[in-house]
Each structure stands twice: as structure tokens, then as C-alpha cells.
Amino acid sequence: MVAGGRAPAAVATAASETIVRVLVCGAAGRMGRQVTQAVLAESDLDLVGLCDVRDIPAEVRQEAPDIAFGSDLAAVIGESSPEVMVDFTDAAAGPANILAAIDAGVSPVVGTTGFSPDALEQIATHSRAAGIGAFIAPNFALGAVMLMRMCETAAPFFDHIEIIELHHDKKIDAPSGTAFQTARTIVDARGKPAIDVPTEKFTLNGVRGGDYHGVKIHSIRLPGLVAHQEVIFGGLGQALTIRHDSTSRESFMPGVLLAIRKVRSLDGLVVGLDSLLFN
């Protein structure tokens, strides 16, 4: 079902501020709803479409009564002519949504996590061939990006490194995309694996966590949590702990809005918020 719809094409305001037309995919979900509110609050962004395979709650549609919505992404794109599609769905649905957006000339901004390396490669190839800017961030929180930068600095000086990531109990994938990316960043910065401290005897299986080139990753899922990560570097007579806490989903919005504004100027696929902040 597609309802509403507006005239296509970007418009310029009196102050010649360019308005970006935005579609939110996964609009009935926790992140999609937050993004919808964040886009509605920005004067240079125009929310033109909402897509979800579930019903989009009436209160969400009431906030933006005039826009296209529905469960068929191609139809909502056709109806609303967005320039940017924000995707917060799931690892199974995300790649197809992204490829469909690129095929329609729409730049994707993606927060969905858990994509396989093959899916990322396919998106990169597709966006490059189409000449469409695309952006994926495993974590849109500025503080999480800073944490990764600090880990990159510390990693060459400590041989023993463990990551504890803590998320709400509804998160379906583990480890978090951020924890995986942090482990990759640490190993790349070291140029060699971390050193796993051997355990001689296990009285319970699995207690040492997952292993990425010697970096142990422990995933905690509990109600009451949002998104948190602690990285502990162990050295001779000292330990360094770097921690970041997202205490509400609002923490991701400044990063999402930055990506919406920049994605169309990117050359093919760019991964990671640090690429937008530091380049």
C-alpha cells in the first residue's frame, strides 16, 4: 500500500538551503521511529516516505500525514522520489533494500548491522558502478567513533585486549557490529594479533568469549541496557579501560543526520562514521 505522495525533485528554500528528500526504511522499528522524528525536526530535510514490512504505527503517520508509506520499497520510492534512503532494518533485508535504492538513483544511509563481507562487497561494487554515494556505519554514535580512535592509539602498546559489549535484550545479532569493527581496528593498528592469555582448565564452556585474532569479545544482552562498550587493554602492572555508553537512541541521531547531508557527495560506498568526521 502506498498513500500520500508529494511532487518530486529537490527544492531550494528562500535562503537557498538545499532540501534533501528522505525516505526511512524500517520506519516501524525502534531506530526507524527515532530517525523519522529526527528528520522531521530538521528544516533542511524533507521526510517524503516511510517503508516497513510491518504496519507503520498510526502515531508515526500522524506526525507526517502527507507522505508516501507502505511495505513495498520500490513502490514507496516511486511515489515519493527520495534522494536519500535511511535503512535500519535487519541483516537479511538490508542488502536488497540498499541495492534497490541504488538502482533507483537513491543514496542509502545504513545503520543496519550484521552484513556479510560478500554483501558489503556487492553494495560497494553496485554503488561504484552506478555512481551513487552510499554510506554504512556500524555505529552512528559520535562517542563510539571516538572510542575506536582511542583504541587505535592504544593498541600497539598493549598485547592483551578484551572487548565487552553490552546491549538491550532485543538485539538479534552478536557480537555487535561496533565490537567487530573495534576488534578489526585494534588488530590492524597492531599489525599483528593480540595475545590471548591461555586458560588451563575450563569448568564452564564459552566463558572466554569469541576470538578475533587474539582479541576476546564478550556479548552481554540484558533488559535495561541500550548500547555500551568497554575495551580493556592489559599491560605490565597496569590496565587501561576505554568505555562508551549510549543511554538512549537519540545518541545515534547527530551521526545519522550528518550522513544524510553528506552521502550524495560520496564516491561509491563509504563505511564508518570516522570517514565523515575526520576526512
> Active-site residues: which are they?
167, 171
Considering only residues 80 through 99, tell me which ones interact with ligand NAD, judged by CB under 6 A: 88-90, 93, 97
Pair 77, 99: CB distance under 8 Å: no
Residue ranges of E strands in 113-206 = 134-136, 160-167
Considering only residues 201 through 240, tell me which ones interact with ligand NAD, judged by CB under 6 A: none
Q: What x/- string results for residues 237 through 276 when contact with ligand NAD is judged by CB under 6 A?
A: ---------------x------------------------
C-alpha cell at 180: 567487530
51 or 151: whose CB is closer to ligand NAD?
Answer: 51
Residue 31 near ligand NAD by CB under 6 A: yes
Residue 28 near ligand NAD by CB under 6 A: yes
Q: Shortest gap between Cβ of 217 and ligand NAD (angstroms)?
A: 15
Task: Give the C-alpha separation, 207 to 218, whole Å.
Answer: 9
Contacts of residue 118, defined as CB under 8 A and 6 or more positions apart, other chains included, come to none
Q: Shortest gap between Cβ of 53 and ligand NAD (angstroms)?
A: 4
The string of DSSP letters for 148-175 reads HHHHHHHGGG-SEEEEEEEE-TT--SSS
Residue nearest to ligand NAD (CB): 29
Q: Which residues of 26-42 are buried (b: 16+ CB within 10 A; e: fewer)?
A: bbbbebbbbbbbbbeeb
Q: What x/- string results for residues 41 through 80 when contact with ligand NAD is judged by CB under 6 A?
A: ----------xxxx------------------x-------
Neighbours of 267 (CB within 10 A): 11
Footprint of ligand NAD (CB under 6 A): 25-26, 28-32, 51-54, 73, 88-90, 93, 97, 111-114, 137-140, 252
